[in-house]
Amino acid sequence: MPVPLLDLRAQHARIRDKVVSAMMRVVEDQAFILGAPVAEFEKEVAALSHTRYAIGCANGTDALLLALRALDIGAGHEVITTPFTFFATAGTIHNVGARPVFADIEPDTFGLNPAAAAAAVTTRTRAVMPVDLFGQLAPIERFHEAMPRVPLIEDAAQSIGARRSFDGEWTMAGERAMIGTFSFFPSKNLGGYGDGGMIVTQDEKLAARLRRLRTHGAVKTYVHEEVGYNSRLDALQAAVLSAKLPFLADWSAARRANAKRYDSAFADLSAIRVPAIDAANESIYNQYTIRTDRRDALQAHLTSKGIGTAIYYPIPLHLQQCFAYLGYRAGAFPESERASKEVLSLPVYPELTSAQQDEVIEAVRSFFR
């Protein structure tokens, strides 16, 4: 039985009527740019993330770009981040004219190490950008403690709805950062039917500037205070996402249940390390990522069995050709480099059936016999 890494058709089949109905309301209104659907979805995301303001934009990459611009980060500045993440995290730093400065990850959670990040601070540092990798929150409070004067941009592209216990209360993705960013790429736990992004903040002035920057820097039509971008969340995507949002908690719970079943099934396999979830976190498992030093052979074996897998991420960013100008060499960040050679993500989507998961489990176990 083939098992895909992700099955969006199965998800769509269960919610088709609600989503199509929401889309058709936009089509009938013939109002596609911003408008009421976007404003309503912004309110919903602000409520979910426990933030005062949410600003929709074109995609998760633009969310990071706009966040950096809103903090006046540019030429001559540095932003500290992780080399073990999707390209956009560092690419946006480069694209505003600043310099990405990498610090290594923690080997268990794959997240940016706060102590390593703090050690990388210089007089040119203007922000730190941890990533909520694979669906669990970065330890935001540890970054605040380690570097209290450095603004924090939380790349929460993979973690909408995830939460972390702090001082006896739940903190949501995006809540405690100066700016948090989300992606609604189709493969995300809350994915659109195309691209989409969102920025959240507690700061009124930042929210106003972010709204301005997403519409060419305009305060009103044809009146521009600065040069911004054409980066608006369109009404069709907002309608789709609003229709899907009520299902998010159940989908994330199903992912956790699938992850727990994998954890139990692989507990006796010493050659595998299952995902390490920080005790303070409730992960949404955007990915279920194992580690093994036989990763490539295991992936080939699973492919031969019809099991979908992916490697997030095979080349750390400091070793990408386009970042050679930064001067990093192999060995600079050993934990990130080791992870890139060992990680493998397995199917964990909420519609995964017990029979399908049995196929994955048996295929993995058969490789290590």
CATH number at residue 295: 3.90.1150.10
- Asked if the structure places residue 3 within a domain, the reply is no
Confidence of residue 366 (pLDDT cuts 50, 70, 90): very high
Task: Find the domain containing 264 and state its range.
Answer: 247-367
- Average pLDDT, stretch 300-322? 98
Q: What percent of the chain has pLDDT over 90?
A: 98
Q: Whose structure tokens read 């903040």?
A: 201
Q: Provide CB contacts within 8 A for 272, sequence distance 6+.
A: 266, 290, 291, 292, 364, 368
Measured distance CA(93)–CA(162) in Å, rounded: 25
Residues 177 and 306 grouped into a single domain? no
- Asked if the structure places residue 1 within a domain, the reply is no
Number of domains the chain contains: 2
pLDDT tens, 156-165?
999 999 999 9
Residues 85 and 199 grouped into a single domain? yes
CATH number at residue 212: 3.40.640.10
Instruction: Give the Cα-Cα-Cα angle 68, 74, 77 (nearest 5 degrees).
Output: 100
- Average pLDDT, stretch 57-73? 98
Measured distance CA(273)–CA(275) in Å, rounded: 7
Residues 202 and 145 grouped into a single domain? yes
Measured distance CA(286)–CA(156) in Å, rounded: 11
pLDDT tens, 5-59?
999 999 999 999 999 999 999 999 999 999 999 999 999 999 999 999 999 999 9
The answer for 267, left when phi > 0, alpha when psi is -120 to 50, beta otherwise, is alpha
Residues 275 and 235 grouped into a single domain? no
pLDDT tens, 87-102?
999 999 999 999 999 9
pLDDT higher than 90, residue 346: yes
Q: Whose structure tokens read 């500045």?
A: 77
Residues 235 and 360 grouped into a single domain? no
Contact 61, 69 (CB under 8 A): no
Instruction: Give the Cα-Cα-Cα angle 113, 118, 122 (nearest 5 degrees).
Output: 140
Residues 207 and 133 grouped into a single domain? yes
- Asked if the structure places residue 70 within a domain, the reply is yes
Using alpha carbons, select from 28, 6, 24 the residue that is nearest to residue 240. Answer: 24
Q: Provide CB contacts within 8 A for 14, sequence distance 6+.
A: 351
Residues 92 and 179 grouped into a single domain? yes
Q: Provide CB contacts within 8 A for 332, sequence distance 6+.
A: 102, 318
Residue 7: predicted pLDDT: 97
Residues 35 and 182 grouped into a single domain? yes
Measured distance CA(192)–CA(362) in Å, rounded: 33
Residues 268 and 242 grouped into a single domain? no
Residues 74 and 119 grouped into a single domain? yes
pLDDT higher than 90, residue 220: no
- Average pLDDT, stretch 132-146? 97
- Asked if the structure places residue 137 within a domain, the reply is yes
Residues 347 and 205 grouped into a single domain? no
Measured distance CA(261)–CA(185) in Å, rounded: 27
- Average pLDDT, stretch 129-155? 97
Residues 32 and 144 grouped into a single domain? yes
